[in-house]
């Protein structure tokens, strides 16, 4: 199906033009007109692939999420198999924080997307779904570790899941250089060490 | 000095117009022209009070920070004196999270501001200063609690400070209703209970 593949590739190229606009000029410049200009195409051409700004943003965010997922999958494959749940959580958190160029781009896209959803119910629904899936994945790792005795049985899996997710809160502090990458990773490690402390 | 007071009041009224634009139309609409329209003044009038968009944003962010500070000060005054460091940290975290209308507006403004700073070195410098002050305040509370035996002496004050700050990471999860306000506060309490667990 070369036509469908071309269509997808074209859409990905346009989404990357959106990212370049975000990176170079900030979120305020993310209009259909500006993305078309950055991609070197006409507004009509862009509108052929994305009928609305919401559709373009949703596609760009899905692509960001897929690329973050790919990075995590590749890094997981490099761990001892089966990987220890602590290592999986550390790896996921490290990929969610703006510590390298790709992760930084994804992190900025996510932060901008959250703000955008506050004024767009369709985007908000979509973003909520994605984040709830991410939360469910972390929760299942925590529950599995409790069942296997790697996390003490008196830990509340819901609270522990939320406390792991809170560590993504280092993203803005890293962006503004309030904390250093090493300090963020040391804090992540400290938190995970306590979570996975030997059951009593 | 009625003239200076008027000037400050006028600037605050214009900053509030900026917030209304953010709240109603999102960050992409925050242009000098749009803020002037929302405030019901001419672009020239706005430019008389703020010579650039960066100056307006910096003022609006400083005002947001001052208002968050005022809310914290008022809430602190209602605690037993002198307040326990655990109660101070809980109160600060609760005011940083989007749990009520005022705190939600401040939280959104901060999130948008962080994104904006990525493309504006002057704003970035300013935002970094404010956040580093906030971090220093939390660190001094943690160090004081260690000195007073309220936090175990083997806890690393830098790591513990960063882990407390990470809890502001609940903000986007609350905005997208991935976690409920009660769950965020339960996780904050769990974290602080462990931090302030009796020294061994």
User: Residue B32: inside a domain, yes or no?
Assistant: yes
* Range with the poorest average pLDDT among A98-112, A134-148, B82-96: A98-112
* Min Cα–Cα distance to chain B from A84, Å: 23
HSE-CB of A30 using CA atoms within 13 angstroms: 28
User: Residue A35: inside a domain, yes or no?
Assistant: yes
Query: Is the same domain home to A72 and A125?
Result: yes
Smallest CA–CA distance from B117 into chain A, residue:
A176
Is residue A51 predicted with pLDDT exceeding 90?
Answer: yes
Query: Is the same domain home to B99 and B41?
Result: no
Beta-carbon separation of B27 and A28 below 8 A: yes
Q: Domains in chain B: how many in total?
A: 2
- CA angle (A132, A136, A142) in 5-degree steps: 145
Beta-carbon separation of A127 and B165 below 8 A: no
Is residue B200 predicted with pLDDT exceeding 70?
Answer: no
| Tokens (6 digits) for B153 | 């002496």
How far lies A40's CA from each of A33, A49, A58, A100, B118, in Å? 11, 14, 21, 28, 24
Smallest CA–CA distance from B190 into chain A, residue:
A159
- The last residue of one of the domains, among A15, A30, A51, is A51
Beta-carbon separation of B30 and A30 below 8 A: no
Q: Phi and psi of A31, rounded to 5°?
A: -115, 160
The three-class DSSP label of residue A179 is coil
Query: Is the same domain home to A148 and A177?
Result: yes
Provide the CATH number for the domain around residue B67.
1.10.357.10
Query: Is the same domain home to A103 and A157?
Result: yes
The closest CB to that of A183, out of B27, B127, B158, belongs to B158
What are B37-60's pLDDT values in tens digits? 999 999 999 999 999 988 998 899
The three-class DSSP label of residue B188 is helix
Residue A113 confidence class, pLDDT cut points 50, 70, 90: confident
Q: What is the mean pLDDT of residues A5-21?
A: 89
The three-class DSSP label of residue A82 is coil
CA B181/CA B171 separation, integer angstroms: 10
Residue A138 confidence class, pLDDT cut points 50, 70, 90: very high
- CA angle (B158, B162, B163) in 5-degree steps: 115
What are B62-87's pLDDT values in tens digits? 898 888 999 999 999 999 888 999 99
Sort out which chain A residues have CB atoms less than 8 A from B175's CB and list them: 114, 117-118
Sort out which chain A residues have CB atoms less than 8 A from B172's CB and list them: 110-111, 114, 131
Q: Phi and psi of B152, rounded to 5°?
A: -60, 140
What are A148-183's pLDDT values in tens digits? 999 999 999 999 999 999 999 999 999 999 999 999
CA A44/CA A51 separation, integer angstroms: 10
User: Residue B164: inside a domain, yes or no?
Assistant: yes
Beta-carbon separation of A111 and B172 below 8 A: yes
Cβ atoms B102, B89 nearer than 8 A: no
Q: Phi and psi of A104, rounded to 5°?
A: -65, -45
Beta-carbon separation of A27 and B24 below 8 A: no
* Min Cα–Cα distance to chain A from B118, Å: 7
User: Residue A30: inside a domain, yes or no?
Assistant: yes
B178, B180, B186, B191: which to substitute to probe chain A, counting the most A Cβ within 10 Å? B178
| Average pLDDT for chain B | 90
Cβ atoms B93, B171 nearer than 8 A: no
Locus of tokens 């089966």 = A82
The closest CB to that of A166, out of B124, B132, B166, belongs to B166
Sort out which chain B residues have CB atoms less than 8 A from A163's CB and list them: 187, 190-191
The closest CB to that of B111, out of A25, A111, A156, belongs to A111
Query: Is the same domain home to A108 and A186?
Result: yes
User: Residue B200: inside a domain, yes or no?
Assistant: no
Query: Is the same domain home to B45 and B56?
Result: no
What are B122-174's pLDDT values in tens digits? 888 888 888 899 999 999 999 999 999 999 999 999 999 999 999 999 999 99
Cβ atoms B163, A93 nearer than 8 A: no
Beta-carbon separation of B26 and A118 below 8 A: yes
Cβ atoms B185, A184 nearer than 8 A: no
B108, B162, B177, B189: which to substitute to probe chain A, counting the most A Cβ within 10 Å? B162
Sort out which chain B residues have CB atoms less than 8 A from A135's CB and list them: 173, 178-179
User: Residue A200: inside a domain, yes or no?
Assistant: no
* Min Cα–Cα distance to chain B from A90, Å: 15
Beta-carbon separation of A163 and B191 below 8 A: yes
Query: Is the same domain home to B87 and B186?
Result: yes
Query: Is the same domain home to B86 and B179?
Result: yes
Instruction: Using the CB atoms, write b or e for A72-108: b if 16+ within 10 Å.
Output: beebeeeeeeebebbebbbbbbbbbbbbeeebbbbbb
Radius of gyration for the alpha carbons in chain A, expressed in angstroms and rounded: 19
User: Residue B62: inside a domain, yes or no?
Assistant: yes
- CA angle (A21, A34, A10) in 5-degree steps: 75
Query: Is the same domain home to B41 and B70?
Result: no
Sort out which chain B residues have CB atoms less than 8 A from A195's CB and list them: none
Nearest one of B85, B103, B193, B97 to B139, comparing CA atoms: B85
| Tokens (6 digits) for B142 | 């943690």
User: Residue A40: inside a domain, yes or no?
Assistant: yes
| Average pLDDT for chain A | 90
Cβ atoms B84, B93 nearer than 8 A: no
| Tokens (6 digits) for B189 | 């309490």
pLDDT at position B173, please? 93
Cβ atoms A128, A69 nearer than 8 A: no
Is residue B3 predicted with pLDDT exceeding 70?
Answer: no
CA B107/CA B168 separation, integer angstroms: 10
* Min Cα–Cα distance to chain A from B6, Å: 31
Residue B199 confidence class, pLDDT cut points 50, 70, 90: low
Which DSSP state fits A97? Answer: S
Q: Which residues are within 8 A (CB) of B27 and not within 5 positions of it... i.e. 6 or more apart?
A: A27, A28, A115, A116, B112, B115, B116
| Tokens (6 digits) for A125 | 């629904």
Q: Which domain covers residue A42, as residue numbers?
A: 1-51
Sort out which chain B residues have CB atoms less than 8 A from A119's CB and list them: 24-26
pLDDT at position A3, please? 66
Three-state secondary structure of A105-156: HHHHHHHHHHHHHCCCHHHHHHHHHHHHHHHHHHHHHHHHHHHCCCCCCCCC
Query: Is the same domain home to A24 and A110?
Result: no
**What is the helix, strand, coil percentage profile of chain B, to 5?**
80, 0, 20
Query: Is the same domain home to A142 and A71?
Result: yes
Query: Is the same domain home to B12 and B63?
Result: no
Q: What is the mean pLDDT of residues A192-197?
A: 94
């Amino acid at each position: 199906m070369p036509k469908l593949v071309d269509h997808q590739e074209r859409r990905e190229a346009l989404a990357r033009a959106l990212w370049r606009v975000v990176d170079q000029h900030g979120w305020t410049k993310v209009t259909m007109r500006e993305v078309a200009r950055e991609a070197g195409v006409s507004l009509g051409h862009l509108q052929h692939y994305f009928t609305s700004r919401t559709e373009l943003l949703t596609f760009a965010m899905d692509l960001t999420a897929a690329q973050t997922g790919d990075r995590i999958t590749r890094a997981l494959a490099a761990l001892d198999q089966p990987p220890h749940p602590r290592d999986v959580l550390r790896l996921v958190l490290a990929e969610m924080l703006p510590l390298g160029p790709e992760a930084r781009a994804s992190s900025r896209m996510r932060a901008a997307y959250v703000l955008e959803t506050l004024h767009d119910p369709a985007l908000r629904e979509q973003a909520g779904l994605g984040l709830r899936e991410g939360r469910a994945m972390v929760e299942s790792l925590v529950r599995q570790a409790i069942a296997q005795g790697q996390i003490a049985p008196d830990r509340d899996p819901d609270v522990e899941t939320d406390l792991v997710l809170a560590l993504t809160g280092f993203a803005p502090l890293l962006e503004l250089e309030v904390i250093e990458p090493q300090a963020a990773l040391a804090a992540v490690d400290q938190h995970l060490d306590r979570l996975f402390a030997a059951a009593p």
